[in-house]
Chain A
Amino acid sequence: MFDSLSDKIERAFKLLKGQGKITEVNVSETVKEIRKALLDADVNYKVAKQFTDTVKEKALGQNVLTAISPGQLLTKITRDELALLMGGASVDIKLSSSPTVILMSGLQGSGKTTFSGKLASYLKNKRGKKPLLIACDLYRPAAIDQLHVLGEQIGVEVFSDRESKDAVSIAKRGVQQAKENGNSVVIIDTAGRLAVDEVMMNEIEAVKKAVDPDEILFVVDAMTGQDAVNTAKAFNERLNFDGVVLTKLDGDTRGGAALSIKSVVNKPIKFVGTGEKMEAMDVFHPERMADRILGMGDVVTLVERAQEQFNVEDARKLQKKIAKNQFDFNDFVAQLQQIKKMGNMKDLVSMIPGVGKAIKDVDIKDDAFNGIEAIVASMTPYEREHPESLNGSRRQRIAKGSGTSVTDVNKLIKQFDETRKMMRMMGDKKNMMKMMSQMKNMR
């Protein structure tokens, strides 16, 4: 009863929108969608469930910006949360001791040997180290040759012993040689092994014990499925590794394994492999990975672009005008310009989930707004502020001035009236789409 006017307006607006805050109800569909996106990206089932639950809990009750829907906001929160979870403080590899001993581990075909070469090349060229590669994969045919070829390519020495079948002894002797020759870093390549292979797991544990590595890296194929969790857990239990290397990220996999591994063993992802060339590696970027896993980069971009263009103060003024039914042609054009600033029209519209496919073949021209702007520009300032003043003769003059016909002007005024009505309900996704489709017809 004693509420201030603005409070009342605010509340009315929210009621009209019906979605002022994130609630269990208005995001339940989105939560489902996000969970499916995570599962499709090979995030472990339990991790995905736990993660969406946490996000939902955090998001409940948050205020929703007028320009986006609660579902979209939730997606944005999810993405940020995902990046946060996978990132944390970035951890470099420890290079303090001399020689620094780095032990590679992982399943068959994950890319250990290739990454050993890349890491050696990186440490040599970017960090000014003098690495030595040690070939401890004694099982796969020609694995030793492969490391030698790579070593030659990057100009790094390789220690191997083709006669020996004892990985522990080779590793030890390699480290000894490094000490004698003044190598500052030692990288030990090992055979791929299954976590359930007791004999092989014992072997790498023995290597670890023998050389006491400063850094144990777990190399994992970014395409790995649900089992990534079990594998990472098993390797971590045996080796207590220091960091993860995610390989083959130059493929189109969404790489949900990264999230699963991070949540299960809580070890930092230190590097990613991005190609077959020796320099194709990078440090890990949590945000990029978050976008990739969600496969919803588009929604995030839309939300971000809307947030960029969205001036809170302007929006508040606009809300008041809308509520008082004072929305005029100046505001109309300002809105159009704001949308234009957000980017290519078709791109924008297609970013709205579910809309993209529907308008795939519809031609939306970027200059769709030009005619509208010309008509509004031909109005006098008084007319723009008082749309109801637009009588027949004024309309005729405007048509002439803008190089259009009276029919065009009439059409625009009619659409403006409708938009005005609709603005009062804006925010709701359905209405927004209706508005979009109307704008489409404004050409």
Chain B
Amino acid sequence: MGILSIFSKDKKEKLDKGLFVTKQTFFSRLAKAITGKATVDHEVLANLEEILITSDVGVDTTMKIIDRIQKRVEQQRKVETAELNKILREEISSLMVQSDVTDQSGEFTFPQNKKPYVIMVVGVNGVGKTTTIGKLAYQFKKAGASVMLGAADTFRAAAVDQLTIWSERIGVQIVSQGMNADPASVAFDTLKSAVSKDSDVVIIDTAGRLHNKVNLMNELSKIKKVMQKVVPDAPHEILLVLDGSTGQNAIEQCKQFTAATDVNALAITKLDGTAKGGVVIGISDQFKIPVKYIGVGEKMEDLQVFNKHEFVDSLFKQ
């Protein structure tokens, strides 16, 4: 009875499918790197370096992994390539364990003692914030919670419409004041309404903003402050959405958004189709913020609670 038995077979299949490209390239290339080699030598390590870097793991984290494996090779004098899989898996797991504190149940849950549980969703432009909110609302609703959305992206053309369409599709409530309204005011109204209607979960959409724009980052702090006038400890969760195909800039985004708004959960999107997923490893290594959700497809149900073990398994599944 491993931890994996908790997950339905269906879910695992989806993750496997979603990460198919990632896994395929990662694993097949790893296999290729060791063909014709009996032991781990300099060449194997060089190949491994290439595999990790081209998976967007990042130079620093890659070097960390390579160094650790190199140390093991030195200690044991001889490491057979057949073991490399196992070692690599252990190393990647250990890098990720430090930051992974999420509830391992795999279910879309939220603390019951906070009502409404307020989630503010932030991120740069085009990472998939609104889509993630739609998917998240769908999951919470499916789990039996009453959900209210707040359309506080009042900047991008038709962003309010986009969220409204999602709310209609899923059948959850939405609060909006139209385009160009003050986002803090929308967030305030949403929380007021959620409190009076006794909603379980509130999800606030915000406009995409590049993390190096100080004014826009300050706006997030303002939205946060205004929400606290209604629910003193809101937002309970600040979810930073990162695009899985983003390269090393993801690290910078993580840094800047965390500095501005105390991000405490990450969602990584578009993990289907890209040959990536490595960015998850790099970010887990460099930040102590848990990856909570991953997006693996375009459909409403294509959002999953991230599970480290499942993720690593998926990378190495033969």
Query: Interface of A with B (CB < 8 Å)?
Result: 36, 39-42, 44-46, 107-111, 113, 117, 139-143, 145-150, 153, 194-197, 221, 223-228, 230-231, 248, 250-254, 256-257, 276
Contacts and interface: CB of A to CB of B under 8 A. Distances in A.
Contacts of B250: 223, 225
A149 B157 CA distance: 6
Contact of B246 (A40, A45, A142, A223): A223
A230 to B, nearest CB: 6
B106 interface: no
Contact of A253 (B155, B249, B272, B276): B249
Given A111-B125, A142-B162, A226-B55, A252 B156 contact: no
A40 B63 CA distance: 12
B247 A226 contact: yes
Interface in B250-298: 250, 252, 270, 272-276, 278-279, 298
Q: Which 8 A-B pairs have the closest CB atoms?
A: A225-B247, A109-B126, A42-B247, A194-B273, A146-B158, A149-B157, A142-B161, A141-B165
B157 A150 contact: yes
Interface string B131-166: 100100000000000000000000111110110111
Contacts of A44: 54
Contacts of B278: 226
7 contacts: A142-B159, A146-B161, A223-B247, A226-B53, A226-B276, A231-B245, A250-B212
B150 to A, nearest CB: 17
Contact of B249 (A139, A146, A223, A228): A223
B177 to A, nearest CB: 16
B155 A230 contact: no
Contact of A251 (B54, B56, B166, B210): B210
B243 A223 contact: yes
Contacts of B211: 251-252
Contact of B270 (A39, A108, A117, A140): A108
A237 B120 CA distance: 40
B165 A142 contact: yes
Interface of B: 21, 50, 53-56, 59, 124-128, 131, 134, 155-159, 161-162, 164-166, 169, 179, 210-213, 243, 245-250, 252, 270, 272-276, 278-279, 298
Max chain B CB contacts within 10 Å: which of A142, A223, A230? A223
B137 to A, nearest CB: 13
Given A40-B248, A149-B157, A221-B246, 5 more contacts: A42-B248, A110-B126, A194-B274, A248-B210, A252-B252
Max chain A CB contacts within 10 Å: which of B53, B59, B158, B245? B245
Contacts, number: 139
Given A109-B128, A146-B157, A252-B252, A39 B246 contact: no
Q: Is the interface of B mostly helix, strand, loop or mixed?
A: loop
B279 A225 contact: yes
A257 B246 CA distance: 10
A39 B155 contact: no
Given A107-B245, A225-B56, A194 B50 contact: no
A194 B20 CA distance: 14
Contact of B124 (A142, A194, A197, A251): A251
B59 A227 contact: no
Contacts of A145: 157-158, 161-162
A379 to B, nearest CB: 52
B158 A248 contact: no
A125 B272 CA distance: 40
A251 B249 contact: yes
Contact of B210 (A142, A228, A250): A250
Contact of A39 (B59, B134, B213): B59
B171 to A, nearest CB: 15
A225 B165 contact: no
B54 A141 contact: no
A146 B163 CA distance: 12
A358 B21 CA distance: 45
